[in-house]
Structures are given as structure tokens and as C-alpha cells.
A and B are shown apart, each in its own frame.
Chain A
Amino acid sequence: DTAVSQTPKYLVTQMGNDKSIKCEQNLGHDTMYWYKQDSKKFLKIMFSYNNKELIINETVPNRFSPKSPDKAHLNLHINSLELGDSAVYFCASSQDRVPYNEQFFGPGTRLTVL
């Protein structure tokens, strides 16, 4: 009965590869997010989707492309991986885009680029 799930939990890959991280939520929420947490634990929003539409796109390299096939899924595809992409990536969801609605976070995907 996991609310927000991500796969894989760990991802180790070589520079230059393309990889995807999947996220699913079973809360019936219509807004989903991707966050990046660096080695200093700093957590920053990358993208937000509401009803499959992109509503927030922070200054993220265009090598990162989110895809939302439906309201319950928001996948993150990363092209030409670089060393600096190594981080923990968190997916989150909330009911609607209203800030007062709690965001529920997934367990994270630790990406290591060698």
C-alpha cells in the first residue's frame, strides 16, 4: 500500500548513458513533482506536473525530460549522464497544485554516475 513509489532505488551508470527513473502514486493526486537532493542534502524542485501538464520547470538542463503518461505516473528520463547528476532524486505528489496541500514524497532513487 505504498503511497509514492520509485524505481529503481539505486542506479549506478557510466557517464554518457541515458537512464530513466519511474514514479507512481496511488493516492489519487493530480500533481506530481521531481526533486533533486545533492550530497549536502540540499533539496531542490526540478519539475511539477498537474494533470499530466508541465506547470513548473526550474532551471534544469534539457538533458532531463519528465514524462507523465497519466496522472498517477511521472517518469524522469536523463540523457547523456554527467558526474554532476549524481544525487538522490525524489518524486512527490499532492492533491491539486495548492501549496496548502501536503506533498507526499517517495523513498528516493540514488543515482551514481561513474
Chain B
Amino acid sequence: GESVGLHLPTLSVQEGDNSIINCAYSNSASDYFIWYKQESGKGPQFIIDIRSNMDKRQGQRVTVLLNKTVKHLSLQIAATQPGDSAVYFCAETLVNSGYSTLTFGKGTMLLVSP
């Protein structure tokens, strides 16, 4: 379970609502971004990615938006379900570095009520 006083930003929504999770990334040179989902007691799981030459990418029920001007990423989840409850992380990297070093953001907890 989660620690008491975790102090993660938390988004609480009702089942069926659309959710928007925001992330401010740190390195203006980063050119590849990923959203991960981490359920309680499990490792992070890839959701969707986007390259810096795009500003929007859609997957199944999820959309990632990238605003390089303000170094901002968002993850939109359509028709949120209880199974979407998890901590969501954005991660950034610089492809030209040649290595897959991901820098993770702080995480946002999404709580979905039935």
C-alpha cells in the first residue's frame, strides 16, 4: 500500500470522467518523452510516448500533448476507469546522448471512484 503522508499530487475523478495529468519537464534539450503508469506494488509500465517533433499523439483512450515552449506534457485519459487508478510519471530523455537515461518527474496519483 501507499505510505501515509506521501504528499504526491493527487487527482480524484469519477468513473467515466476524462482525466488530465500534467507534468513539467526540466531539460529544454530533451527530445523524447514517455508516460508511465505504476500500480500499487508493481513496477512502472509504459503507456505512451512522444517525440519532440510532435505536439500530440493518441493511443487507445490516452492522448499525450507536448508544449515545448513551456516545457509541459500532459496525459489525457478518456472515460477513466477504476483500473486506471495508479501513480503516473512522465519521463524525459535526450536521444542524441546515445543512452536510454530516463529522467522521471515526481508522479501524480490518480484515484478513480466507481
Contacts and interface: CB of A to CB of B under 8 A. Distances in A.
A39 B3 contact: yes
Contacts, number: 70
Contacts of A92: 43
Interface in A58-114: 90, 92, 94, 97-108
A102 B46 contact: yes
Contacts of A33: 100
The prevalent SS among residues of B at the interface is loop
A39 B106 CA distance: 12
B107 A105 contact: no
B1 to A, nearest CB: 11
A39 B8 CA distance: 11
B43 A98 contact: no
Given A41-B107, A42-B106, A99-B100, A108 B6 contact: no
B101 interface: yes
B19 interface: no
B8 A103 contact: no
B7 A40 contact: yes
Interface residues of A, number: 28
A60 B53 CA distance: 34
A12 interface: no
Contacts of A27: none
Given A107-B42, A108-B43, A40 B6 contact: yes
Interface string A31-45: 101000001111111
Contacts of A45: 101-103
B102 A103 contact: yes
A88 to B, nearest CB: 9
Contacts of B44: 43, 90, 105
Interface of A: 4, 31, 33, 39-45, 48, 55-56, 90, 92, 94, 97-108
15 contacts: A40-B8, A41-B8, A90-B43, A90-B44, A98-B95, A99-B97, A100-B32, A102-B46, A103-B100, A105-B45, A106-B43, A107-B42, A108-B41, A108-B42, A108-B43
